[in-house]
Every structure is written in structure tokens, then in C-alpha cells.
Structure 1
Amino acid sequence: MAGFDDREKAEEAKYAHDEALKFRIEARRNKLLGLWAAGLLGKTDDADVSAYVTEVVASDFEEAGDEDVYRKVSGDFKAAGVNVSEADLREKMSTLYLKAEMQVKESS
């Protein structure tokens, strides 16, 4: 029984580690997305950029998945008259996820 218990604990530990890593990658991606979007929105003041990045990162806590972040940035683009297509925004989110994944894994 000890072998089974050890394996179960190892699986639980791996799952917890993987979930924590995924959370860190998504948070980093959202930060990078916020920085990119802030530039397109014409935000140049460091305080404005920082506040906007915080808003983008916080938007990810509304629901599971990426749709809440997509809606936040897309809505801000529409309100400001910034023309970025859905496909382009989703592609940018994917690209930045890969970049964030690399950054997080390098820092671990």
C-alpha cells in the first residue's frame, strides 16, 4: 500500500506544480499582452501603462480560460478605435503565451 500512496502523492505534487506553472505563465502572458496593448492604445506614461497592465492581469480572474482577457483587451481596443481583428488579437495572445512560457521556464 505504501507504494500506491507514494505514487498518489507524487501525482498530486506533479499536478500542483503543473497548475502553479500554468498560472505563472498565464500571468506573465497577460502582463506582456497588457504592455503590447497599452502601446497600441497610446499609453506612454509609466503610471498609465502599469495601471493598464494591472487591469489586464486582473481581468483573468473573472472566469476560467482566456475569454475574459480577450474581452477586456478587445473592448478597450474598440472603445479607443484601435483596429485589431479578433484573429490578430488571438494570435498575439498565443504568441505571447509561448514567449511567457519560455521566460518562466528560464527563470525557474
Structure 2
Amino acid sequence: ATYRMYISYLEIYQNNGYDLLSREDTAQKLEDLPKVMLREDEEGNIHLRNLSVNMAQKAEDALNLLFLGDTNRAVAETPMNDASTRSHCMFILWVDSTKPD
């Protein structure tokens, strides 16, 4: 069988979703990244619009995407923590397998 890994990285900050792996070169802060929107199709399935999907050939590629996304996270100082994220994230990894004929 042939396997492929796909990765997305979503941050939810102040009730907005952001694509942490966006290829926006001009993004200086989280709010500059494309907002990810929830959409429901006719069958009631939920889809994430504006969330990039990145292929990873090996585990090292997946880790590099995790580290890249982490650099785009919203971080602020709080009384208890110098680098609090104050958000929620989802690192989404799925594997597609294809059996040869």
C-alpha cells in the first residue's frame, strides 16, 4: 500500500479560527492570517473553509509543519505566565492509504 500524510493546523483565538500554516508572506500577526470559517453542506457535514492542507512525506516534515505553525500562534504575557497562548489549537493529521491494483 501507498501512504500519504496530510496536515492542517488551526488556532481558535477570541472566537475566530486562523490557519497557522497559511502561506501568507505578509502576515505579521495572527489577525493577518486568513480566517477559517465553518460551513455546513446540504447533508449536514461541517467543513472548514480557508484551512490549508499540507502534504508531509515523512515524520520530519510533519514536525517542521508543527514548528512552523507554532511560530504563528498568538502569545501574550499574563501575571502567571510570560508566554501564554490564550487560545486553543488543533493539529490535524490524517493518513490516506492506497492499495495497489
With the shorter chain as reference, the TM-score category is 0.3 to 0.5
The structure showing larger relative contact order (alpha-carbon pairs under 8 Å, at least 6 residues apart) is 2
Name the TM-score, length of structure 1 as normaliser. 0.34
Greater Cα radius of gyration, structure 1 or 2? 1
Bigger strand fraction: 2
